[in-house]
Structures are given as structure tokens and as C-alpha cells.
Amino acid sequence: MILHIDMDAFFASIEQAINPRLKGKPLIVGSRESRLHTVVCAASYEAKAMGIDSGMPSAEAFKICPNLEFVSADQSKYIWASEQIFELLKGYGFEAANASIDEFQMDIKDTPGPASLAQEIQKEIHQTFKITASIGIAKNSLLAKLASKINKPNGIAVLTPENLEQILAKVPAKKLRGVGPKTSLLLASLGIETCLDLYKKSPSFLEQFLGKHGLNMYAELHSTEHFDASKDDSETKSVGHSYTLPRASENTGFIRAWLRLLSEMVGARLRQQNLAARTIHLWLNGPEIPGFGAQRTLQEPTNDSYEICLHAQRIMAKTGQKMPKIRAMGVTCSTLSKVNYLPLFNEQKRREGLLKTMDKINAKLGDWSIYPAVIHLARQKS
């Protein structure tokens, strides 16, 4: 069995946990410091209840709720919390992997009483970090992720052979990872409305109408394979971060801001481990570009977030579209090597000094106190 642990309103919950004044209040986390000129990165449940959600311009959110609390996103805090949660989960002794900054999976094999184990995990996370998680339990990764969304927030859902069909019948097929609006329209035309309809189709049927994508979906839905926990190897092979937006967006500023935030997170993580990468991989998912992935190999390894982001943007251009609608994105760096050279050129020295100082300031002051202006530029151009 796989346990999928999804933190509830992660960034917003962390801010509320750290600052008790924000607890119980509608709160948004913005991608930049200016409260009226940013986009909502995360909304607390109190804000969600008013109809505020990620992807919305903050000005619109403030119109809905003038008393909205605002915090600008602080990547170092979220990475730290994510790493601490991952350590806590590994303490349970099962194979564990982080699926994204706020989602984790554990392969609990045939451990009896998975629901009470999930309760125990929720309790420990809450006691340690004062934030909540929703947990889905199922025979494979994809269904466990789906289950984690069913009783949000702070919920548990177990998909057993007995209740599987009953639950899948209630979930629209478009809620499944990998099913964008285009696929979901196609599915609807084939009479497939719910996850159960999809689950019951044969692999040959899905291949006939959806090609390889259909076959993959079949395999993911029906697999009982244990997930690959190789990400947890002591020797880091890749460093990546991904994020799923609550709905597809083609807002250039918002997408670029997220691309920059993910690149910043990846770069900071590489620098923490004194690593540099030669391969940069961008993964995108959206209705027009389902499961798009491409990479670039660099001449020289880098751990400079700005450079990583520039390459990610160039890869994005390979979609052949100015700004495709995007639902989820991920930036991963691989072909890693230890940084053991001294900067040769003055420009390189200056740049490295700048990054080190930025990392130090952010580590010390916590808040995303020092901030790459390129995000502002990206938004002005849009």
C-alpha cells in the first residue's frame, strides 16, 4: 500500500504556524513583496472559504477581503519545513519519497491498520509543525494521490478493494493526474465521465483512443508496483521541485514567477549541498501540452538560480507556443558534480559572492528579504 501525504495549504499554513497572529485569519502568500501587484501563490483555508485561491491576482483577492493578511513567499522556510517533514516521515522506517515540495509518499507494504498509521502521522506532523496534512491510502501511487484529495483538509481516505469502485464513481475523470481539459473532453465523448469509467476500460480500448497516453494511464491506475524511492539515495542524483496550480493558467507573469520560484528553490538546494548541475529539465502539464518534458545540457555546470530559470524558459519555448496553458510544472537539475573549483573570472567571482550573500541574508532574516528583480521585470512585460 502507498500512503500519499499532502500538506494542506502548505505555504499559508507554515506562515500561520510561525506567526500565531495569522492563525485563523484569511491569508495569502504572494510571489513577490508588493501586496497589490502579485499573484496568490497560496491561500489559507480561511481565505479559500471566501473564494480566494492560488493563481488569482492579489488585487482581486483584496477586493474580496480587504482585511486579508499578506506574506510574501519565503522559499527557504518552505524548503526547510519540507525537508523536516520528510525526515519525520523517514523515521517511520518505510521507503519514502517526496513527490513535490508539499507531497510525500511512503510504501507501507502490507502493514496492517494503515488508517491508524495515517492518523499517527497526522498527529505527529501537527504536534511538531502545527500544520495539517491529508493522507490518501491506496494500492498505487496515482490512486493514493487521488485519495489524499478526497477528505481535505486534515482528512484520511483509504481506497480498499471493497470501496474502490464506489469512491472512483464519485470522482470526475478530469481530477486524475494526467487528465487535462482536452483529454477529459475526449474521454467524455467516449462516455467516460468518472474515474471508475476510466478504471473499467481495457488497455486496448484506451490505447485505441488515447494512444500511448491511454496505455500509461491504464498502467498507472492498475499497478501495484512499489514506487521508486531512489530519490532518497544518500548520493543525490537530481534536485527538483514541482508545483501544481489549482487550475490551468496562461498568465505569463504568474507562470514566470513560479518558474523563477522553483528555480530559486532548486538553486538554493544545490548550493546548500555544494553541487552544480549540467542538465536542466523542465516538465510542464497543461491541456495543450500534456506531460511535456525537455532538457538542456550545459557546457559548464551551474547552481545559479537565475541561469537555471533562463534555461527553463528556453526549454518552455520548445513547446512552440507563446504561453501555453499550464496546470503543473517542475524544474529538475541532474548530472550533478561537487563544486570544487575556484572562480576563474572576475564576473564569476562577483556572481558567486552575490549568491552566497543572498543565501546568507535569506537564511538569517528568514523572510524572502532579498529578491531577484527579474520576477518584477517578467510581470511588467506581461
* Residues noted as catalytic: 103
Q: Which stretch binds Mg ion (CB under 5 A): 94-102, 119-127, 287-295, 366-374?
A: 94-102
The CA distance from 200 to 168, in Å, is: 10
Cell digits of residue 246:
489549482
Applying the rule CB under 5 A, the residues between 169 and 188 that interact with Mg ion are none
Contact 176/146 with Cβ under 8 angstroms? yes
Q: How many residues does the chain have?
A: 382
Cis peptide before 112 (omega within 30 of 0): no
Q: Is residue 144 near Mg ion by the rule CB under 5 A?
A: no
- Three-class SS of the chain: CEEEEEECCHHHHHHHHHCHHHCCCCEEEECCCCCCCCEEEEECHHHHCCCCCCCCEHHHHHHHCCCCEEEECCHHHHHHHHHHHHHHHHCCCCEEEEEECCEEEEECCCCCCHHHHHHHHHHHHHHHHCCCEEEEEECCHHHHHHHHCCCCCCCEEECCCCCHHHHHCCCEHHHCCCCCHHHHHHHHHCCCCEHHHHHHCCHHHHHHHHHHHHHHHHHHHHCCCCCCCHHHCCCCCEEEEEEEEEEEECCHHHHHHHHHHHHHHHHHHHHHCCEEEEEEEEEEECCCCCCEEEEEEEEEEECCHHHHHHHHHHHHHCCCCCCCCEEEEEEEEEEEEECCCCCCCHHHHHHHHHHHHHHHHHHHHCCCCCCCCHHHHHHHHC
Q: Please name the residues in contact with 305: beta carbons below 8 A apart, sequence gap of 6 or more.
A: 260, 263, 264, 266, 267, 268, 355, 372
Applying the rule CB under 5 A, the residues between 30 and 59 that interact with Mg ion are none
Number of residues near Mg ion (by CB under 5 A): 3
Applying the rule CB under 5 A, the residues between 262 and 321 that interact with Mg ion are none
Q: Min. distance of Cβ 145 from Mg ion in angstroms?
A: 11
Q: Min. distance of Cβ 243 from Mg ion in angstroms?
A: 10
Q: Which stretch binds Mg ion (CB under 5 A): 4-12, 153-161, 211-219, 286-294?
A: 4-12
- In terms of CB distance, is 13 or 303 closer to Mg ion? 13
- In terms of CB distance, is 199 or 243 closer to Mg ion? 243
- In terms of CB distance, is 7 or 142 closer to Mg ion? 7
Q: Min. distance of Cβ 10 from Mg ion in angstroms?
A: 5
Q: Min. distance of Cβ 330 from Mg ion in angstroms?
A: 15
Q: Which stretch binds Mg ion (CB under 5 A): 25-33, 99-107, 283-291, 332-340?
A: 99-107
Q: Min. distance of Cβ 217 from Mg ion in angstroms?
A: 23
- Give the nearest residue (CB) to Mg ion: 102
- In terms of CB distance, is 6 or 264 closer to Mg ion? 6
- In terms of CB distance, is 152 or 318 closer to Mg ion? 152
Q: Min. distance of Cβ 325 from Mg ion in angstroms?
A: 21
- In terms of CB distance, is 153 or 178 closer to Mg ion? 153
Q: Which stretch binds Mg ion (CB under 5 A): 52-60, 101-109, 157-165, 277-285?
A: 101-109
Q: Min. distance of Cβ 106 from Mg ion in angstroms?
A: 16
Q: Is residue 78 near Mg ion by the rule CB under 5 A?
A: no
- In terms of CB distance, is 7 or 125 closer to Mg ion? 7
Applying the rule CB under 5 A, the residues between 201 and 240 that interact with Mg ion are none
Q: Is residue 102 near Mg ion by the rule CB under 5 A?
A: yes
Q: Is residue 6 near Mg ion by the rule CB under 5 A?
A: yes
Q: Which stretch binds Mg ion (CB under 5 A): 2-10, 201-209, 276-284, 291-299?
A: 2-10
The CA distance from 339 to 270, in Å, is: 10
Residues that bind Mg ion (CB under 5 A): 6-7, 102
